[in-house]
């Protein structure tokens, strides 16, 4: 198999979903499916079992993926070593970033990075912080940017601290929540963020919201709140100072201090020996 086919198998094993893998590989889903069938035919056995829920690796497939990942990693290491000899910032910067940060903080940083280092490539995965941390432990990426304050033994750089706000077009005081019939719009998030909101709510009101709408993305949650459908609790990193026609009420803890949430950059020492990784960290430090 060619390296491109091995790389395709690695992406499939990371996503375990044909649609998501096709988006990452910039190919159509039917084309990806056809290429996978051709590869499986050449091996003489199934690598993945397809179902409506996604993909599942066969026992033989696990061995093929292990081989594919080893070859792809070795090729990338070789390319990076050769790039080091050339003196320019080349190679692929592999990032795994919490979705909120990927939408609201990262674009400006990446713009500076690609303008300054046009020969570098970027591989970006977004998701919940728990998923990002898993990618870091499995050594799939160079840098992880996550929310919360995780246990991490490698490089750990604090990026930002933001506060939580109750956002609504009508509610102007926290206590009004007890009397409103408007729904609480909540976005799906990892367990630590969800628990933080639940703890604050219980301490503040000793009761549950009367009505709740759950959405899958924070941007959907924000737009519904800004369009007057209900109220939401959003981190300040998603909000802009010049946004009009909405009330933004800071959440306070039992000591009357704002509830804050940290964002951290994680990495391992060896990754920062690569020029493209070190260059990204330099850009981040300039941006802070």
Convert the pLDDT of each residue in 234-281 to its tens digit: 999 999 877 778 999 999 988 899 999 899 999 988 888 888 999 999
| Residues 58-89 pLDDT 10s | 999 999 999 999 999 888 888 777 766 666 77
Whole-number pLDDT of residue 243: 78
* pTM of the predicted structure, to 2 decimals: 0.68
Q: What is the domain range of residue 5?
A: 1-87
pLDDT tens per residue, range 129-138: 888 888 888 8
| For residues 184-196, average pLDDT | 83
In this structure, the number of other CB atoms found within 10 A of the CB of residue 256 comes to 6
**What was the pLDDT predicted at 191?**
66
% of the chain exceeding 70 in pLDDT: 97
Quick check: 54 pLDDT over 70? yes
Query: Which parts of the chain fold into alpha helices (H)?
Result: 3-15, 18-25, 29-43, 59-86, 99-104, 106-116, 129-137, 191-205, 218-226, 275-287
Task: Count up the domains in the chain and report the number.
Answer: 2
What is the CATH classification number for the domain harbouring 71? 1.10.10.10
For position 73, what pLDDT does the model report? Answer: 86
CA distance 104 to 108: 8
For residues 114 and 168, give the distance between their C-alpha atoms in angstroms, rounded to a whole number.
37
Say whether 55 sits in a helix, a strand or coil.
Answer: strand
- Pick the last residue of a domain from 67, 87, 107: 87
Alpha-carbon span 14 to 132, nearest angstrom = 12
The verdict on residue 151 lying in a domain is: no
- CATH number of the domain encompassing residue 232: 3.40.190.290
Give residue 145's pLDDT: 94
The reported pLDDT for the residue numbered 106 is: 94
Write down the pLDDT at residue 48.
Answer: 95
């Amino acid at each position: 198999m060619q390296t491109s086919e091995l790389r395709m198998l690695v992406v499939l094993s990371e996503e375990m979903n044909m649609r998501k893998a096709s988006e990452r590989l910039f190919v159509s889903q039917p084309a990806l499916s056809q290429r996978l069938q051709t590869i499986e035919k050449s091996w003489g056995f199934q690598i993945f079992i397809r179902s409506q829920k996604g993909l599942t690796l066969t026992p033989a497939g696990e061995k093929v993926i292990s081989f594919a990942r080893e070859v792809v990693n070795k090729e990338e290491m070789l390319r990076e070593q050769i790039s080091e000899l050339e003196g320019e910032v080349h190679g692929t910067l592999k990032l795994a970033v919490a979705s909120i940060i990927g939408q609201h903080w990262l674009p400006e940083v990446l713009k500076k990075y690609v303008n300054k280092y046009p020969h570098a490539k970027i591989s970006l995965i977004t998701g919940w912080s728990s998923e990002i941390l898993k990618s870091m432990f499995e050594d799939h990426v160079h840098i992880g940017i996550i929310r919360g304050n995780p246990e991490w033994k490698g490089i750990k750089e604090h990026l930002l601290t933001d506060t939580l706000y109750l956002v609504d077009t009508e509610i102007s005081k926290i206590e009004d929540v007890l009397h409103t019939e408007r729904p609480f719009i909540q976005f799906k998030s990892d367990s630590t963020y969800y628990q933080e909101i639940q703890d604050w709510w219980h301490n503040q009101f000793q009761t549950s919201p009367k009505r709740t709408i759950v959405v899958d993305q924070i941007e959907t949650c924000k737009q519904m709140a800004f369009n007057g459908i209900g109220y939401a609790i959003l981190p300040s990193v998603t909000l802009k100072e010049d946004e009009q026609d909405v009330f933004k009420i800071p959440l306070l803890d039992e000591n009357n201090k704002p509830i804050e949430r940290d964002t951290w950059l994680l990495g391992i020492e060896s990754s920062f020996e690569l020029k493209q990784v070190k260059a990204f960290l330099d850009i981040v430090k300039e941006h802070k």
